[in-house]
Amino acid sequence: MKLPYFIRILEKHEIILWLSSIVLLIIAFIFSGNFFNLITSVIGVTALIYLAKGEPLGQILSVVFSVVYAIVSYSFRYYGEMFTYLLMTLPSSAFATYIWAKNPYQKGNSQVKISQLKWRQGLTIVLLAPLVTLGFYFLLESFDTPNLFISTISVTTSFVASMLTFYRSRYYAVAYALNDIILITLWTLATLTNITYLPMVICFLIFLINDSYAFINWKRMATKQNNHELKQ
């Protein structure tokens, strides 16, 4: 029997990475007992596997993750995360789904065509990032957001990652990896208050591993795509 496409496109080591991630999350769930946080984390790590493959499915799952993660963030009054994912990550993932689907690597292959970041695109990010950060800072401050400084920095890295995703640059994974480190810090602080948030710490530790893999894999995919174009 032929396996579904979304399983066939995963390589053996990617399936192992995904399954290992799920096992770690389940272990964290045993200690915390919060099933909703577990589901949120599972959706997130699954999205990252497909993002690392350059598959639009990863962006679709990111939209779902944005909603459920915003709910988790709201429960601990991490309004920075809630607003970031609802107002930035969710719409950017939805738009990126369209962009990636419109720019496949080749006909009949849903993998996105990787692009080199142009200087104008880089300049746009540099100019907009401080403005977005400043705007969110005052918004979060008005909501008396816990760990305000760290939450604000998270907005910056998320914005940069979202923009790089639009531009189909492999450096999106670097920006998300930096964001993962920030979020590990945020949710560790939350876990010290309430153990049920432990899966979120494990979640972003796994995100860091997956985003690191994504950067390496996108470099490999870019080389493969370039070699294919040279042969044509």
- What is the tens place of the pLDDT at every residue in 82-117? 888 898 889 989 999 999 999 888 877 788 999 999
Q: Distance between CA atoms of 209 and 48, rounded to whole angstroms?
A: 10
Task: Establish if 85 belongs to a structural domain.
Answer: yes
Task: Establish if 2 belongs to a structural domain.
Answer: no
Task: Establish if 93 belongs to a structural domain.
Answer: yes
Task: Establish if 141 belongs to a structural domain.
Answer: yes
pTM score, two decimals? 0.88
pLDDT at residue 229 is higher than 70: no
Helix %, strand %, coil % of the chain (to 5): 80, 5, 15
Which residues form the domain of 158?
Answer: 11-105+119-227
Task: Establish if 114 belongs to a structural domain.
Answer: no
Task: Establish if 186 belongs to a structural domain.
Answer: yes
Number of domains in the chain: 1
Task: Establish if 111 belongs to a structural domain.
Answer: no
Q: Distance between CA atoms of 167 and 164, rounded to whole angstroms?
A: 5
Angle CA 105–110–112, to nearest 5:
45
Q: Distance between CA atoms of 170 and 218, rounded to whole angstroms?
A: 6
Phi, psi (degrees; rounded to nearest 5) at 126? -60, -40
Nearest to 28 by CA among 214, 204, 209: 204
Task: Establish if 4 belongs to a structural domain.
Answer: no
